[in-house]
Amino acid sequence: MKNIIVTGTSRGIGYELALQFANANHQVLAISRKVPKQLLEHPNITCLSVDLANESDLNKVTDFLKSTWKTVDGLVHNAGSIVCKPFEELTQLDFENVFKVNVFGVANLTRLALPFMQKGSHVVTISSIGGVRGSLKFPGLAAYSASKGAVITLSELLAEEYKEQGISFNVLALGAVQTEMLEEAFPGYQAPISAKGIADYIYDFTLNGNKYYNGKVLEVSTTNP
């Protein structure tokens, strides 16, 4: 049994992932602004309503870890924010809102979880193919793709900084997965992979990927987008 933190659990990939860990008898801390009833009712899931864009709101996570878990075996940064509009229409506020969740939220939550991690702990950041250098880019996703590129570099750096402690950091750069966020970015497009399908992959990678990878970016995509 392991203690796993998952963000963005109100819907889509995060929701499916939280249930998968919990159904396999792992303890899950499910973090999202909205808390689904089904997760609340699961005996292996603790739900916290947290706004990742609000640094002070993360104190709820620290309080829980200090009082209840004491250790963290896995952290999956799944929560994401997206703005879809032409670059000329993007404002600084648009960039700030996306980066607060996709970059600052990842950095802040990682920083507060690190004191509870130990050798063998694994931090998995869910990025996007659009954030990978040299990949195909799509108009209208400047803020989103830039933020996803930023967390790739952050993860690579942290893998180096914490390698002596045996804490691993890896990134899964996802392609098209059928979620509400994909529908917002590409209306009418039908992805070949469901949220539950990709959750299966992330589940296994979180538990086992650090045996083979550290500081790596794995492109998990069969299509463009």
pLDDT of residue 21: 98
pLDDT of residue 114: 99
Amino acid at 82: I
Q: Work out the average pLDDT over 102-127.
A: 98
pLDDT of residue 172: 96
Q: Work out the average pLDDT over 74-86.
A: 95
Chain segment 17-38, per-residue pLDDT in tens: 999 999 999 999 999 999 988 8
Number of structural domains found in the chain = 1
Q: Is 140 helix (H, G, I), strand (E, B) or coil?
A: coil
**Number of residues written out for the chain:** 225
**Residue 222 resides in a domain:** no
**Residue 224 resides in a domain:** no
**Residue 225 resides in a domain:** no
**Residue 196 resides in a domain:** yes
What's the whole-number average pLDDT of the chain? 91
**Residue 60 resides in a domain:** yes
Q: Which domain holds residue 90?
A: 3-216
Note the helical H segments in 136-177.
142-161
Handedness of CA 4, 112, 99, 224 (dihedral sign): negative
Q: Work out the average pLDDT over 147-152.
A: 96
**Residue 82 resides in a domain:** yes
**Residue 142 resides in a domain:** yes
Chain segment 167-186, per-residue pLDDT in tens: 999 999 987 555 556 555 56
A 10 A CB-CB count for 216 gives 16
Name the residue with higher pLDDT: 181 or 219. 219
Place of tokens 């952290």: 75
Residue 117's CATH number: 3.40.50.720
**Residue 164 resides in a domain:** yes
Amino acid at 76: V
Region of 11 on the Ramachandran plot (φ > 0 left; ψ -120 to 50 alpha; else beta): beta
pLDDT of residue 86: 96
The share of the chain scoring above pLDDT 90, in percent, equals 76
> pTM score, two decimals?
0.92
